[in-house]
Amino acid sequence: MTEKIVLDPDSGIAPYEQLRNRLSELARSGALPVGHRLPTVRGFAEELGLAANTVAKAYRALEADGVIETRGRNGTFVAAAGGAAEQRAATAAQQYAETAERLGLTRQQALSLAKDAVRAAYGD
């Protein structure tokens, strides 16, 4: 892999989540271009000093997010995920808005709660 990935063992964030976040960032930024083949689970685990299950868990989460795709024995590749990731986020936002409205929250209350959740997720 051309981009070095460093995980922080002292972080309060699980290693698989750190790996997931970093690979997602690299894919979004274009540092890992669409179609780039990722290392095998076992090979990547050895390279990072992690258990294979940790890397497999990160890959499964990234695949569910639409960031990567597995092509059977051909390997795992960076997907054309910009649209897929935005689509999943838009769907989640729509579901949230509908739920907030059903619960009787005002538009301002719903927006305030959403902003708080985004700030918490992004560490602001």
Assign domain 15-79 to a CATH class: mainly alpha
Contact 98, 110 (CB under 8 A): no
| Tens of pLDDT, residues 64-79 | 888 899 988 899 999 8
Task: Map out the domains of the chain as residue ranges.
Answer: 15-79, 82-122
Mean pLDDT to the nearest integer, 79-100: 79
| Distance, CA of 4 to CA of 6 (rounded, Å) | 6
Mean pLDDT of 93-111: 94
Quickly state the pLDDT bin for 84 (edges 50, 70, 90): low
Evaluate if residue 20 carries a pLDDT over 90: yes
If you average pLDDT over every residue of the chain, what do you get? Answer: 89
